[in-house]
Amino acid sequence: MAKKQHSATERLAEFISETDYEHIPDDARNEAKKAILDWLGVTLAASREPVVNKVADYSRRAAVVSESSVIGKGFKTTAELAAWVNGIAGHALDYDDTFAGRDYNMHPTVPVLPAVLALAEWLDLAGTDIITAYVIGIEIESRIGDAIGRDNSVHGWHPTAVLGTIGATAACASILKLTTDQACMALGIAGSLASGLQKNIGTMTKPMHAGNAAKNGIIVSLLAKEGFTGNDNIFEEDYSFSNVLSAGHKDGLDGKEQDLGKNWHIVSPGMGYKAYPSCRSTHSSIDASLYLRDTIGIDPSRIAKIVCRTSRRHTQLARFHNPSSGYEGKFSIPYCIATALLKGKVVLDDFTDEKVAGIEARSLLTKVEFEYPDAFQKTVRPDQEVLIILDDGSEYSHRVASPKGYPENPMSDSELSTKFEECTNWFLSKKSIDRVVDLVMNLELLESTAKLMKNFMNREI
């Protein structure tokens, strides 16, 4: 008898239901722990942001149910609302990790991890459960993203929200130990909840996309466990997820899911961590500007003109060439270039309304012009060159294809730890920071998620 040919949805569901901690190789586990530490840091740093304050206040109305921790806010609420607030916080600063160098642009951890941690805390699960579910979510996101590619974002969808909803659902299905049939249903339900429009980049709604994905992953998986139904072949045939979300350019997953459990995308191509708290499309120009300032010795007061050579794709993503707020500054290549040249660094405090409106920064960012040579249109990397013309007519330039934090130009473990400390030292003591780093980097030894999350509940004065 011929072996049944499984659909792409079934293959995804089998990977979800059949993958245990023991199946995940050491290098994938280690990458997971780095990503978890990085996300916890940027989420705590963002817990003071206005967008987070608003959604946290909303979620306090349900705090009579004390299931899962809201990071930095000192209260617990339902698992799905905790995941929602933490997901929004994790993306609010645009400092969270990315899938670097892919044909699509998304932040993989922020839709998945808040859902995993909220469920794991509520159900009192161990660190191995966190690692397993997180890796499954990342691997599923990666395959769907590779299959749909740039068609998703070209047509105005926000891939972090769209792909992240599926990744969060896969991770939660693992946490809840859904069967293959239940996981198929969960993916089907999730397909109808996957949404987020790029039109909202630059507003509070963009980080809410990530929170929605995390929250939906929990709701969907709990419903599927109770027999709630969805289409069990959501990734193929007419009106499939792939077809609709690619505007008709893709019909299925093109076999991208076939290597699940064989090749681990969290290791290769790998994760991209952010050295700067701004849109990834600004990072190569920041690195180039820092080089021109620190290595060449450019004096910002003598700059007559700045030219940024890049792909049109990156000026569409970082589209605020004359930003009017701190958040728009994160999506402004001119502002990030100006800040790097003026200060020799780009840090969290640079993205306030006051800093973006500063006279010195505005004077310099207005000197930035863009050019789009053909050579810069052919790569998915944020390949950028910054050319500076001084008041005496002399010219200096530097080109960066893979910015700091890319797998080809990685942040070291020490740099990631320093970033975590800089994000959390307003809330945690040095002793507590060291304790959290140790807990995460030895997460497989953690017996209860609550032991980790309690560190993020109350500020140490």
The pLDDT tens digits of the residues spanning 149-175 come to 888 888 889 999 999 999 999 999 999
Task: Write down the architecture of domain 8-275+438-456 according to CATH.
Answer: Orthogonal Bundle (1.10)
The pLDDT value recorded for residue 46 is 97
**pTM, two decimal places:** 0.94
Closest CA to 196 of 152, 249, 149, 230: 152
Spell out the residues 6+ positions from residue 142 whose beta carbon is closer than 8 angstroms to its own: 99, 108, 265, 266
Q: If pLDDT is split at 50, 70 and 90, which confidence band does 1 have?
A: very low
| Over residues 85-113, mean pLDDT | 93
Q: Which two tokens stand for residue 391?
A: 């008041």
DSSP class per residue in 391-436: TTS-EEEEEESS-TTBTTBPPPHHHHHHHHHHHHTTTS-HHHHHHH
State what percent of residues in the chain have pLDDT above 70: 99
pLDDT at 5 over 60: no
Residues of the chain with CATH 3.30.1330.120: 280-400
What does the alpha-carbon distance between residue 231 and residue 128 come to, in Å, rounded to a whole number?
Answer: 31
Is the sign of the CA dihedral 124, 171, 441, 437 positive or negative?
negative
The pLDDT value recorded for residue 156 is 87
H/E segment holding residue 77: strand 75-77
Q: Please state the three-class secondary structure of 161-182 as a single string.
A: HHHHHHHHHHHHHHHCCCCHHH
The CATH code belonging to domain 280-400 is 3.30.1330.120
pLDDT at 65 over 80: yes
pLDDT, one tens digit per residue, over 239-297 is 999 899 888 888 889 999 999 999 999 999 999 999 999 999 999 999 999 999 999 99
DSSP class per residue in 212-279: HHHHHHHHHHHHHHTT----TTTTSSTT-HHHHHTTTS-SS-TTGGGGTTTS-TIIIII-B--SSSS-
Residues of the chain with CATH 1.10.4100.10: 8-275+438-456
403 vs 100, 171, 268, 306, CA distance in Å?
10, 30, 17, 19
DSSP class per residue in 81-147: HHHHHHHHHHHHTS-S-B-TT-SS---SHHHHHHHHHHHHHHTT--HHHHHHHHHHHHHHHHHHHHH
DSSP 3-state assignment of 329?
Answer: helix
pLDDT at 38 over 90: yes
